[in-house]
Amino acid sequence: MDIVFLSPDGSERRVVAREGMSIMAAATSNGIGGIVGECGGNAMCATCHIYVDDDRLPPLSPEEDELLEGTADERTEKSRLGCQIALTAEMDGLRVLLPEHQI
């Protein structure tokens, strides 16, 4: 499946990802800058903060909601943690906006 990462400068990069991998893993394994993932995807650091406006995403968990309070860039209603979203076939073509800062 294809995922499109949009940088704050407006550039886009399309990557191929596997079903079941997290958005964070798809970004880091494809060399996408802007996703740090300090905790390795264990929902402990919020350095995989992303913005996604898409109704195909699973609901926000209470733990993810709490961690999003500590993001370096502004939290919005589109804020999510990339490590907490496992990709499904239905998410093919998902567009993910990267924040300007993670730390």
Say what the pLDDT of residue 103 is: 82
Q: What pLDDT, in 10s, does the model give residues 53-80?
A: 999 999 999 999 999 999 999 999 999 9
Residue 103 included in any domain: no
CATH number at residue 10: 3.10.20.30
Residue 47 included in any domain: yes
Contact yes or no for 4/96 (Cβ under 8 A): yes
Residue 80 included in any domain: yes
Nearest one of 78, 100, 90, 91 to 4, comparing CA atoms: 91
Cα–Cα distance list, 86 to 1, 8, 16, 71 (Å): 12, 23, 14, 20
Say what the pLDDT of residue 66 is: 96
77 is in which domain, residue-wise?
2-97
Number of domain units in the chain:
1
pTM: 0.94
Residue 43 included in any domain: yes
